[in-house]
Amino acid sequence: MTVELERLPPKTRQRVEELMRANGWSFSRAINEITETAIASGAFAQVGKKKAQVLQLVTPMRASGRDSSG
């Protein structure tokens, strides 16, 4: 996904430009910082998608040849 400053809504563009000026950041750095903050704040869990259970995402480890105790 590509985010372009020129395509942002005027109010959003103004806020991003203020963030860039205040911190001396490039547009890319500002977008990365915004994205990291959104993820850390759980923003993507709030978009209305049901959270998957952990076992649906990662299969449980089974005792096997990977076990170094044997």
Does the pLDDT of residue 50 top 60, yes or no? Answer: yes
d(CA 20, CA 28): 9
DSSP assignments along the chain, one per residue: ----GGGS-HHHHHHHHHHHHHHT--HHHHHHHHHHHHHHTTGGGGSSPPPPPHHHHSPPP-SSTT-TT-
Q: What value, to the nearest 5°, has the Cα angle with vertex 55 and ends 58 and 48? A: 100
**For the segment 19-42, what is each residue's pLDDT rounded down to a tens digit?**
999 999 999 999 999 988 888 877
